[in-house]
Amino acid sequence: MAEFEPKIIAFCCNWCTYAAADIAGTSRIHYPANVRIVRVMCSGMVDPIYILKAFEMGADGVLIAGCHEADCHYLNGPLKCDAMFEKIKRVVNILGLEGERLRREMIAAAEAPVFAELIEEMVKQLKKLGPSPLREGVKV
């Protein structure tokens, strides 16, 4: 049987982490293809609904990544994202998902290698955890 390949949805802020992923591309820094990036204007724009939708649809991991606090294009987006994240983390726990499946990171535009390393690390971790219990066909 083929090795389990986790699916990761990454909500990346346009100004920092999306740009970091772009620079990873320009610099040809390779990382696992398990991640699908959804571009958002700000990490503070990520609605809990998107995260729940991703898990409902069978994502094995979800990443919300944006600017460091000082870099925010909209002043305080990361703080707002953190507040949302604290709440949704609890909901995700209640749903019976391991905490490691939902990550919140700050990655600046200049930190392309950090982005690549993070994806590598997440994929490794999710492979250990196995498929999300919410995936169709998986017995909980």
Binding site for another protein (CB under 8 A): 7, 9, 14-16, 18-19, 21-26, 28-31, 33, 36-42, 44-50, 53-54, 57-59, 67, 70-77, 80, 84, 108-111, 116
Q: What is the rounded distance in angstroms from the CA atom of residue 116 to the CA atom of residue 118?
A: 5
Q: Indicate the DSSP class of residue 46.
A: -
CB of 88 to another protein, least distance (A): 10
CB of 103 to another protein, least distance (A): 16
CB of 41 to another protein, least distance (A): 6
Nearer to another protein, 73 or 128 (CB): 73
